[in-house]
C-alpha cells in the first residue's frame, strides 16, 4: 500500500509553501516507525504553477496513523491561496494482483 499525495500551488507562492513545509515537519516530524518515503518530493513546473508528488509506503498496520500524519501536515497549508492537494491510497502491484486472485 502507498499513500500518494499531489500538491499544486501558484509559482508566486513557492517561498510561502516552502516555509510552511518547514513548519509542518517541525510540528509533525517524520516517524520512521510508520514507514518510509519512496518519493519524498518530486517537483515540476506546470502552466498552473508548481506540482509536488510525495509517495509514502506505510509499514503493515500503520496505514491509518501514517495517513493521519500526512493529513495533519497538509492542513497547515489550507490558508495559502491557490494551494490544493489530493491524497490517495494506492495498492502495490503485489496487493493488486492478490485482489484479482493472482
End-to-end alpha-carbon separation of the chain, Å? 17
pTM value is 0.88
**pLDDT tens-digit map of 27-51:** 999 999 999 999 999 999 999 999 9
Second CATH level (architecture) for the domain 2-99: 2-Layer Sandwich (3.30)
Query: What is residue 79's three-state secondary structure?
Result: coil
pLDDT band at 102 (very low <50, low <70, confident <90, very high): confident
Residue whose cell numbers read 496505514? 63
Domain ranges of the chain: 2-99
Amino acid at each position: 500500500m502507498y499513500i500518494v499525495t499531489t500538491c499544486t500551488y501558484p509559482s508566486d507562492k513557492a517561498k510561502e509553501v516552502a516555509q510552511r513545509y518547514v513548519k509542518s515537519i517541525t510540528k509533525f516530524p517524520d516517524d520512521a516507525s510508520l514507514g518510509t518515503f519512496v518519493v519524498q518530493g518530486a517537483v515540476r513546473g506546470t502552466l498552473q504553477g508548481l506540482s509536488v508528488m510525495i509517495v509514502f509506503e506505510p509499514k503493515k498496520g500503520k496505514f491509518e496513523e501514517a495517513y493521519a500524519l500526512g493529513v495533519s501536515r497538509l492542513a497547515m497549508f489550507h490558508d495559502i491561496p491557490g494551494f490544493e492537494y489530493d491524497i490517495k491510497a494506492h495498492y502495490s502491484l503485489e496487493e493488486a494482483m492478490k485482489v484479482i486472485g493472482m
